[in-house]
A = this chain, B = another copy of it.
Amino acid sequence: MAAMDIANHLRRHKKSLTRARTEIWRILTQSEKPLSPNEIHRRLNTPKANLATVYRNLRALQDVGLVREIDLREAFKRYEAILAGRHVHHIMCQVCGRIDKIRHCMIQDMANAIQKESGFTLEDHYLECFGICPSCQPHKTEAQGA
């Protein structure tokens, strides 16, 4: 998903390419981890787009398939750019909060079993993990529940 594609993506869905959207896209693609609406808002150049605009645009970018919502059981959602079609899972450190991507996903292997067990077709899923990152492992004593 090259940066230039954003305009086409939006046009295809009758959505405009605005300064706010361009900036949000830049911020998301430059971030190494999913960001909350507030974090995104903080990183906007002045004059900052309104926080409500950030929310509206995050939804718009999701609608056109450029952005995905991540829920790490915090008080808010996080968002990340979909750079490749492939989906990604995450693992968050229960001690320091560091968030890494997990590119390994065996869900396909589970799909058959799940479909057989439940009778559902499997259209989407999310898998998020919690653990202790390498830097925090020496201190591992009791991790706060996740």
Contact = CB atoms under 8 A, between A and B. Distances in A.
A145 to B, nearest CB: 8
B131 A117 contact: no
Contacts of A102: 114, 117-118
B146 A120 contact: no
The interface size bin for chain A is 35 or more
Given A106-B106, A106-B109, A124 B130 contact: yes
Interface string A87-129: 0000101100000101111110110011101111111111111
A133 interface: yes
Contact of A114 (B104, B145, B146): B104
24 contacts: A62-B145, A69-B73, A71-B71, A73-B126, A91-B120, A91-B122, A93-B120, A94-B124, A102-B117, A104-B117, A106-B106, A106-B110, A107-B127, A115-B131, A118-B133, A120-B129, A120-B132, A120-B134, A121-B131, A121-B137, A121-B140, A122-B129, A125-B127, A126-B127
